[in-house]
Amino acid sequence: MSAIGAIFATGGVGASEVGAMLASLGQVPHDQSGSWMSGPMGIAACTLHTNAESRECAQPNVSDDDQLAAVFDGHLLNPNEIAADLEAKGVRLRTGSDVEIARRAYEVWGERCADRFLGEYALIIADRREGKIFATRDHMGFLPLYYREEQGRLIMASDLRTIAALSKAQLEPDHRYIAQVITKRWFLRDATPWKGVKRLTRAHTLSFDGRRVSTCKYWVPPTEVTIRYGSEEEYAEHYREVLFDCVRRSSRCDAPVGVAVSGGLDSSSLFCVADRLQQSGQLLAPGITGYSLAAEEGGNAFELPYARAVAAHVGRTLTEVPLFDPDIDWYTQDAKWHHGIPVPSNGAMMLGMEKQVVADGSRVMISGSGGDEWLQGNHQYYREFIAERNISGYLRALRRDGDAYGWMKAGKLALRLTAAELTPGPIRSAVRKRLRDRRRRLDGPLNWLSPDLRDAMIEAEEAYEADLPENAVHWSKHNIATSPFSDLSHSLMRRQRAAIGFEARHPMLSRAFIEFSLRTPAEVKRRGTVAKALHRKAMEDILPPVILERQSKANFTNTKIDSQFADYVRNNAGKQLADICDLEALKPILEVDFNAPEGDYWAWEIWGLYASAAFLYQGNCVTEINPATGVQQDRK
């Protein structure tokens, strides 16, 4: 994982600006740093090496004629395939590094190079030949890129702290974005907590030539079901092939790789798959180590018996690390240092385990995130069967659901989805609008907002909906794949990990894995009350029965910190939220006892209120890098 940045200024870039950028980027652990300047452009990188190939090539990576310079954060999953395509075009690569492969791909295919990149990455290229900055991010937005345009000047960086350091004017909070945090209603794709600072939307490219920023989407989630087999075994075999390949590609590292083992279906599968890959000599790392969170026994996050069962199944030991559980001051100070909103408590809980991975000599950990999104399944199979006129499949699913739920409930479910699919489009749109209007009237968090922000959120939702497909099945697939909230969560976790010199990888969120899920019939993923049915079938000979049959899931709420968040809001809402909230409407949630079971229900909302209030307070004291000293300081 690296920290990268760029400046484009029509009047020319000064050494002090590039120095300030490099100093800000360099505040996170890294092995090598460097910068490049030419005319109106300057770029910089502070590189943390996570594989042998990255050690072969310094960043920025510069062309022989000094007209192209590239910086890269993250990793590619298909570097060998891209390298082979480049060599077929006559390109001679000096190294196997991702940054050189990405730069040469841009030279050959231009901005369409992004179509070929698979992985978790952010890339910036300074192109003197064309007089522009080019940038792109991966399909899910694991590696953030933020940018700010200022009258012929563009600044771009992988963290908000560097954007603030390079900005000509003090940044101001964006209340529309904060309204999303408060309500947990996420509709703004490119917004950030700061007005005038945007995030490059995931699965997009950006170019800036000194006059305007232009962006282009390069990947759209597929929606049509195209993978069809005659038996469950065939689906399971294909699924195993995809999963094993995604884990193998994600393991590319020159040190042992950590694997997060929660004891759930997803992370347990990845641990077992990684073990088999190592045993067969296919793992792209010298070894693996399992890590598990050691929550308090009897608590809602206690999963060690399951995690230990998985470790025993493969004959390995686990490193068990207590949950990181700081007081509220840690969240507030961490957010201020990063120049953003505080991380949620379930994300912060991981920090102790992540630090242990680093202390043990690894810089990469494989995560099971993504299984809930892409393996869970839903009952949209009724709509798929109706659209395909597959009556036998429809009746088969109805019989199965009747046995699982009872015929009354199954019949109502099937009838509702059938009616929705057969209803003409204009009528369906009118019904959706009426239901949305009713939901908004009854939406408590939405009504916490001041009237102007409530209207702004409704407008943002309308724009978000207009960008999604009309077909409900396709709508669901696009919504999961492009949700602005997941972009935020990836960015927050990346920020936490970058600060300790650590990179997480997510096989179940790779493009290959997502596209397999989207192209597979909904029926094979969910069978009545059994979620992740295809995953369970494929893992029958890989997971121990106690995991394979598991239906429960841990709950990582934290009543202690939720109570502290609530106290912070009670004490500060009048000063910090008065301009954007109806304080009278907030009273009911501030009366909730967050030490009681009711507190779990409102945990995300109280985090949102705290995160917003804390961010608005720190927004009055913006930090920057002093170019003369390279030291962060408060801007007065």
Residue 352: helix, strand or coil by DSSP?
A: helix
Rounded Cα distance between 331 and 343, Å, is 7
Q: Which residues pair with 351 in a beta bridge?
A: none
Q: What's the pLDDT score for residue 321? A: 97
Q: What's the pLDDT score for residue 108? A: 98
Q: What's the pLDDT score for residue 130? A: 96
What is the 3-state secondary structure of 462-517?
Answer: HHHHHCCCCCHHHHHHHHHHHCHHHHHHHHHHHHHHHCCCCEEECHHHCHHHHHHH
Give the containing element (helix H, strand E) for 154.
strand 153-157
pLDDT digits (tens, 9 = 90+) for 245-266: 999 999 999 999 999 999 999 9
DSSP 61-112: EE-TTS-EEEEEEEEES-HHHHHHHHHHTT---S---HHHHHHHHHHHHGGG
By CB atoms closer than 10 A (0-12, 13-18, 19+), residue 508 is buried
What is this structure's pTM?
A: 0.94
What is the 3-state secondary structure of 518-544?
Answer: HCCCHHHCCECCECCHHHHHHCCCCCC
The distance from CA 340 to its chain's CA centroid, rounded to whole angstroms, is 16
Q: What's the pLDDT score for residue 630? A: 45
Q: What's the pLDDT score for residue 461? A: 93
Rounded Cα distance between 174 and 341, Å, is 12
Other CB atoms within 10 A of residue 228 CB: 11
Rounded Cα distance between 585 and 583, Å, is 5
Q: What's the pLDDT score for residue 609? A: 96
The distance from CA 172 to its chain's CA centroid, rounded to whole angstroms, is 25
Beta strands 257-260 and 364-366, pairing class: parallel
The percent of the chain in helix, strand and coil, each rounded to the nearest 5, is: 50, 15, 35
Q: What's the pLDDT score for residue 437? A: 83
The distance from CA 95 to its chain's CA centroid, rounded to whole angstroms, is 29
Q: Which residues pair with 205 in a beta bridge?
A: 136, 216
Low-confidence residues of the chain, pLDDT below 50?
622, 625-632, 636
Q: What's the pLDDT score for residue 327? A: 96
Peptide bond into 60 cis (omega under 30): yes
